[in-house]
């Protein structure tokens, strides 16, 4: 790295200005608090507010990270969909814990979530799958996610073949595709503040109840 490169990175700096995050003002239920922040991010608007980083690890603890989309959140936790044979699906099978992170730059906010992961019932996956656009369903049927493929043309041709086969028909839910539910054990709300004195409020589940506390930035 040259001196010019170093100066460039040092100048990539932004001051955060936002109302103070006060623990007593937050909902005692972190899932309800998340829902409030999520709606504020959608309404602001923050582009693709449901995009989240998903971290998993294999049986040896080797981590992997990628972006996925939140498709549902309720009292049980956070739901996303993927190919069960993908790298993340294999890691979840080996080591069924994961972490999520949302970052809404426009609001200077982030939310970090940790917990256990399990597949949702197949009927839930099927119900969501039927709401997807036709070609998205075809894509899920055509792709062996994370597996080596000769070239893009091969994938395109497979999609075209399946699109013709299922034209005007119901596209079946692939056997290796469906949803996962992350049941949170820890949820942290982060609000950027001036001089890097950020607000961090974390909820930890203890004896099936949530404990709320402030962390040093």
Instruction: Count CA atoms closer than 13 A to 102's CA, side-chain side.
Output: 27
Looking at the domain assignment, is residue 70 inside a domain? yes
Looking at the domain assignment, is residue 6 inside a domain? no
The residues near 146 (Cβ < 8 Å, ≥ 6 apart) are 83, 85, 86, 87
Whether the pLDDT of residue 107 is over 80: the answer is: yes
pLDDT digits (tens, 9 = 90+) for 153-203: 999 999 999 999 999 999 999 999 999 999 999 999 999 999 899 999 999
User: Domain of 100: which CATH number?
Assistant: 2.30.110.10
**To 10 degrees, what angle do helices 152-165 and 134-142 make?**
120
Res 19: pLDDT: 85
pLDDT digits (tens, 9 = 90+) for 38-48: 999 999 999 99
Structural domains of the chain, count: 1
Rounded to the nearest 10°, the torsion over CA 140, 144, 150, 152 is 20
Domain extent for 68: 14-125+176-215
Looking at the domain assignment, is residue 23 inside a domain? yes
Give strand ranges (E) for the chain. Answer: 51-57, 63-69, 72-74, 77-83, 97-104, 109-119, 177-191, 199-206, 209-215
Looking at the domain assignment, is residue 201 inside a domain? yes
Looking at the domain assignment, is residue 162 inside a domain? no
Looking at the domain assignment, is residue 62 inside a domain? yes
Residue 36 phi, psi (nearest 5): -65, -50
Active centre residues (catalytic): 196
Res 130: pLDDT: 97
Looking at the domain assignment, is residue 130 inside a domain? no
pLDDT digits (tens, 9 = 90+) for 59-101: 999 999 999 999 999 999 999 999 999 999 999 999 999 999 9
Res 147: pLDDT: 80
* Global confidence as pTM: 0.92
Looking at the domain assignment, is residue 188 inside a domain? yes
């Amino acid at each position: 790295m040259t001196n010019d490169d170093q100066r460039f990175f040092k100048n990539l700096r932004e001051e955060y200005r936002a109302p103070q995050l006060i623990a007593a003002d937050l909902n005692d239920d972190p899932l309800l608090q998340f829902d409030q922040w999520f709606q504020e991010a959608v309404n602001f608007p923050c582009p693709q507010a449901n995009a989240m980083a998903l971290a998993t690890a294999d049986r040896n603890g080797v981590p992997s990270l990628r972006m996925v989309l939140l498709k549902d959140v309720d009292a049980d936790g956070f739901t996303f969909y993927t190919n069960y044979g993908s790298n993340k699906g294999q890691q979840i099978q080996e080591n069924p814990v994961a972490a999520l992170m949302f970052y809404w730059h426009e609001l200077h906010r982030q939310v970090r979530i940790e917990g256990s992961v399990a597949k949702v019932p197949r009927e839930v996956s099927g119900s969501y799958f039927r709401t997807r656009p036709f070609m998205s369903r075809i894509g899920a049927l055509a792709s062996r996610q994370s597996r080596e493929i000769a070239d893009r043309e091969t994938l395109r041709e497979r999609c075209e073949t399946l699109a013709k086969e299922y034209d005007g028909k119901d596209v079946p839910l692939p056997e290796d595709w469906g949803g996962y539910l992350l049941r949170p054990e820890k949820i942290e709300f982060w609000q950027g503040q001036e001089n890097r004195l950020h607000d961090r409020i974390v909820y930890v589940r203890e004896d099936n109840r949530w404990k709320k506390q402030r962390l040093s930035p």
